[in-house]
């Protein structure tokens, strides 16, 4: 299945003081990068993903009507947190996406690092307000991936090359 081929670049949004205590870490599905919850660039990337979600859903919906869909994988990323947890949220990739006009649903495709309430492979639903990114691959090139590209801009050339080589598709050049 595609989700096994897609290393998960997930991120956790943390309150400012907690971010200093956290470090990037690995799960079985990929690397988690901690980001402060007031990171302006990250928040702008997430807002852009929400704004452009209708274009994602239109393209994916039309593609799924084809005999052989071409926009694979087609995933979204959303924020999740445990009830009562005050040390931030984790943003996880969701596969097998559906949308009914109000709620986005799918299957968790990236392993949570610290969350207890969400598990890899679990079916989840959430409102558009919790969407933080989306991605589909068209002709071997990732489309969307707003938060991923924001994080890629923060990487050294070597880190970005290593990151990009872990995926079975290409990311467009950074702007």
The alpha carbons of the chain give a radius of gyration, in whole angstroms, of: 15
Residues in the chain, overall count: 175
39: pLDDT confidence band, cut at 50, 70 and 90? confident
The pTM for the full model equals: 0.82
Give the tens place of pLDDT for each residue, 108-146: 998 888 888 999 999 999 999 999 999 999 999 999 999
Measured in degrees and rounded to the nearest 5, phi and psi for residue 6 equal -100, 100
37: pLDDT confidence band, cut at 50, 70 and 90? confident
Q: How far is CA 55 from the centre of its chain?
A: 17
Cα gap 151→69, rounded to integer Å: 29
Q: Check whether 29 has a pLDDT greater than 50.
A: no
Helix (H) / strand (E) element for 126: namely: strand 123-127
Cα gap 11→65, rounded to integer Å: 32
pLDDT, residue 8, reads 46
Q: How far is CA 97 from the centre of its chain?
A: 12
Which residues have C-beta within 8 Å of that of residue 138, sequence separation ≥ 6? 70, 71
Worst-scoring range by mean pLDDT, 23-37, 134-148, 151-165? 23-37
According to DSSP, residue 33 is labeled: E
């Amino acid at each position: 299945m595609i989700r096994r081929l897609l290393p998960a670049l997930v991120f956790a949004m943390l309150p400012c003081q907690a971010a200093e205590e956290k470090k990037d870490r690995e799960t079985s599905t990929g690397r988690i990068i901690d980001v402060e919850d007031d990171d302006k660039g990250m928040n702008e990337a997430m807002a852009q993903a929400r704004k452009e979600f209708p274009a994602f859903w239109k393209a994916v919906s039309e593609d799924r009507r084809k005999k052989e869909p071409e926009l694979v994988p087609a995933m979204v990323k959303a924020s999740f947190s445990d009830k009562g947890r005050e040390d931030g949220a984790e943003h996880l990739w969701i596969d097998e996406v559906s949308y009914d006009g109000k709620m986005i649903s799918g299957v968790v495709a990236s392993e949570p690092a610290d969350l207890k309430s969400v598990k890899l492979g679990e079916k989840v639903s959430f409102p558009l307000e919790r969407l933080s990114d989306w991605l589909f691959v068209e002709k071997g090139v990732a489309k969307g991936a707003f938060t991923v590209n924001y994080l890629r801009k923060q990487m050294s050339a070597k880190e970005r090359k290593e990151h990009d080589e872990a995926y079975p598709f290409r990311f467009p050049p950074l702007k």
